[in-house]
Structure 1
């Protein structure tokens, strides 16, 4: 029987190599104009890339990343039915106390993990552009961490460049992106719920979603290199002007209301008999908690909150109901029901 030869660092090196190849493949597929199965492929490959990267890090730090349990003084490793070791998946790696990943980068990865679960069960459409900011952040985060953990020589930015485009973004395309047509209900609901669980600071962090504002440049000095994308310092006069103008049109965090707050608002509008009972009847009859309708969201996966759009719908309902909610009823309904 031949003696097994174990090369020091060989497994770590192989993990690192496969990690980089998975990340490069993810970006190359996403940038390929001949492939329509972009986002699904990107998410799966980037999660593999991050998993291998963290496995390489844990191996380097001598952290055991195989599932195991202690049986007395003996440690038993979990295995598949075919006898292979069970290694930590990406979420378990992020939850490890010795994980090197910062909170905002972890938020980005957890978003992609949840997105992968959703797209595994249903065909998706039109999510490539809508989620590109989070995909871009994932790329930048990966390149940052592979260099931080294993040195600048392992950076992959030298292998990729900016994608060239065949056209500018038309007004029609802009409106389509803003309206998000064809987005599956499960994906729309997942995005709303995940984002609602983040603070404003976490949502705006570039490690979670990397957003760039593009402004067409109409002039350039002759004889100078002319780049499609030019970067300016965030504290420059131009940046201050652009950010000031952009702040006028950018999306703001939506106000959220608990059910009782909606009821209290209706009372202030002059509908004193409107109660939680009537509110519950209304949202149930309209299936208003369907995420696709955009009336509200589940915060932290526990409590449903309503948006301003639902408050307006309730107010319209009260207004269209004549005197029903204007006078206090002699025997108001007190039936217990979900809010």
Structure 2
């Protein structure tokens, strides 16, 4: 790993980067919580990516790791520069790719999702992102707060400057269903989200560092004088949490597309592989040990096994590689006349 040239004191630039990073993160959350702003998700994504980029630059600066792009000419570095002569620094994705990145796998996947989403939204207007992606935005904020305090001190934490947003009315089930069913997400955004999620294992998808989900239940204090909090947190291993998760599982499971084996075979038929049968499908998953939970290709729901999108892609590739075998129409048995 190349060491940085000491143009200025490492500490002074690192502290300046942390300060700007923190301000960008605070601005991102404050804008998202502002009820008068309708372009909030897009602004949040841009600002939080800047916040993370500056934070990782500060981290690498602190370790004296060069985070500017350069080429080695002999033993000398030639730094890449813009047309105006400014240094080209690592973008967030390059920071995450470095071997010494302090961002763990789940938090990294959360950021890579936001980076990909930014690419989709930066050139066209979007709508209704807020309620679809707020869990991932929340996870991103918590991951950021954890990292900045871990590497730069508790005093840099941003939780003391933030509070839960208040709203003027409760949302009942009918209202929430109407929100979810209302049109909004552009096709390119919906496709990006589905493609990104389909590549995750179930464990990665459920990780709170990727998407932080909270179930809200109206609650009344039992006695006068008790703390009256809008949100109350309970331990994940408590009996109450276990019972809630058991009831909530049905809703949670709908978040990733799932397919019965019969549906996978039907998809192959629709793609023109008419000779691909259920027998071929069974042989394939057994050969590849595809039901191994560590592979995250499917899940057992009650008595049925459901496959995720990555398995459908593998089957499609298998059929493509063996198209001469599966493109043939299935043989029909001749019936003898009596």
Distance 1:261 1:84, change over 3 A: same
Q: Kindly tell me: are residues 237 and 26 of structure 1, through their superposed partners in 2, closer, same or farther at Cα, counting changes over 3 Å?
A: same
Q: 1:64 to 1:242 in 2, by over 3 A?
A: same
Quote the residue 2:258 is aligned against.
255
Aligned 1:287-326 pairs, distance under 5 A: 299=310
Range that drifts further, 119-128 or 163-172: 163-172
1:180 to 1:92, Cα distance in 2 relative to 1, 3 A: farther
Q: Could you say what the CA RMSD is over the residues aligned between the two structures, in angstroms?
A: 3.1
Correspondence 1:163 to 2:179: no
Number of the residue aligned with 2:125: 123
Residue of 13, 17, 22 corresponding to 1:11: 13
Runs of 5+ unmatched residues, structure 2: 1-6, 277-306, 318-328
**Number of residue equivalences:** 285
Task: Output the CA distance in 2 between the equivalents of 1:198 and 1:241.
Answer: 26
| Post-superposition offset of 1:235 | 1.8
- Of residues 128, 148, 151, the one that matches 1:149 is 151
TM normalised by structure 2 equals 0.76
1:297–1:305 contact (8 Å) kept in structure 2: no
Aligned to 2:73: 71
TM-score (norm 1): 0.76
- Specify whether residues 301 and 118 from structure 1 end up closer, same or farther in structure 2 by C-alpha distance, changes over 3 A only: farther
Q: CA shift at 1:179, angstroms?
A: 2.6
> For the structure 1 residues 208 and 180, does the alpha-carbon distance in structure 2 shift closer, same or farther, using more than 3 Å as the test?
farther
Aligned to 1:336: none
Partners of 1:76 and 1:195 lie apart in 2 by 40
State whether structure 2 residue 16 is matched by structure 1 residue 20.
Answer: no
- Structure 1 portions without partners, runs of 5+: 267-273, 280-295, 307-324, 331-339
**Residue equivalent to 2:332:** 328
Other structure's SS at 1:70 match? strand
**3-state DSSP class of the match of 1:9?**
helix
- The 5 Å alignment of 1:70-219 reads 70-179=72-181, 181-219=183-221
Instruction: Find the aligned partners of 1:159 and 1:54 in 2 and give their Cα distance.
Output: 22
* Alpha-carbon contact 1:130-1:180 (below 8 Å) kept: no
